[in-house]
Amino acid sequence: MSPAAGIPVRRVGVVGGGQVGAGIAEVCARAGLDTLVAETDAFAAGAARERVAASLERAVRRGRLDRLAAEDALSRVRFTAGLDEMADRQLVVEAATENTEAKTEIFRTLDKIVEDPAAVLATNTSSIPVMRLGMATGRADHVLGLHFFNPVPALPLVELVPSLHTAREAIETAEDFATRLLGKTVVRSRDRAGFVVNALLVPYLLSAVRMAESGFATAADIDAGMELGCAHPMGPLRLADLIGLDTLAAIAESLYGEFREPLYAPPPLLRRMVEAGHLGRKSGRGFHPYHQG
């Protein structure tokens, strides 16, 4: 990488230690990076550590990682409550809840805390315009989207999404980080809600929800149809459960808000399930039941 191509990243921050945030932290640690995960409080930070440790243990059991490498990776990740320790980070990935106000506040705070003006502030948003988050800072030229896919250790794709303000060196720093350091494949997208993957995927998932809602077919038959008839590795409703029905609804709302096209509108059944707390795999019940624990 030439000197003009951005900064070589060694110190990474991850804001949010949920399923995706923990996965991002894991792949960073496995790549040998000094990784810091920030959560809202000590309890959430402890839960994030358990997610990373459990994922590494699964990789060892499945023969994808040796024990020493797993222990080494875990030793590279620190967990903290609050954002104050992000001051020395060279790249920070925000992976908090898919809520515009919450993400905007995180970027305002990171702008004040992260000391290096060349540091990249990235969002893992699925659907919120990057420009909106960048404009909450005084460094919109160093804000961009890095959208990882769940489960992060297993899925090789990252969407890189610059805004109209993002500087070339920030883009190159982020692309080098994702490709050379993490071994991911990067696709670039313009800064529009849904980017590439969700703009195509979400209407498909919502169509499956509408089919179940209408009684046209059961959730099991809809999923079996796409798995066995179209060779999809997972049916649309089981995939929606994996993503999280609350996350799917939030992405759909954002897409509909930007494009006002009916195919992006969240169906009433999806809204009711979210209101009922039936969020999919993470809650133990969605379109399918799941064993917890």
Are residues 158 and 208 both part of a single domain? no
In a domain, 145, yes or no: yes
Q: Residue 128 above 80 pLDDT?
A: yes
198 is catalytic: yes
Q: Residue 24's closest CA among 58, 60, 48, 59? A: 48
**156, 188, 220 — which closes off a domain?**
188
283 is catalytic: no
pLDDT band at 291 (very low <50, low <70, confident <90, very high): confident
Which candidate in 55, 124, 127, 198 is catalytic?
198
Which candidate in 39, 124, 127, 147 is catalytic?
147
**160, 188, 216 — which closes off a domain?**
188
Number of Cβ atoms within 10 Å of the Cβ of 260: 9
Domain enclosing residue 16, as ranges: 3-188
CA distance 250 to 257: 10
126 is catalytic: yes
Q: What is the pTM of this model?
A: 0.89
Supply φ then ψ for residue 162, to 5 degrees. Answer: -80, 150
Are residues 23 and 124 both part of a single domain? yes
pLDDT band at 6 (very low <50, low <70, confident <90, very high): low
CA distance 38 to 41: 9
244 Cβ contact list (under 8 Å, min separation 6): 279, 280, 281, 282
Are residues 169 and 56 both part of a single domain? yes
Q: Residue 271 above 60 pLDDT?
A: yes
Specify whether the CB–CB gap between 162 and 120 falls below 8 A: no
**130, 162, 188 — which closes off a domain?**
188
- Which tokens belong to 151? 């489960």
124 is catalytic: no
Are residues 79 and 11 both part of a single domain? yes
- Residues 197-247: tens digit of each pLDDT: 999 999 999 999 999 999 999 999 999 999 999 999 999 999 999 999 999
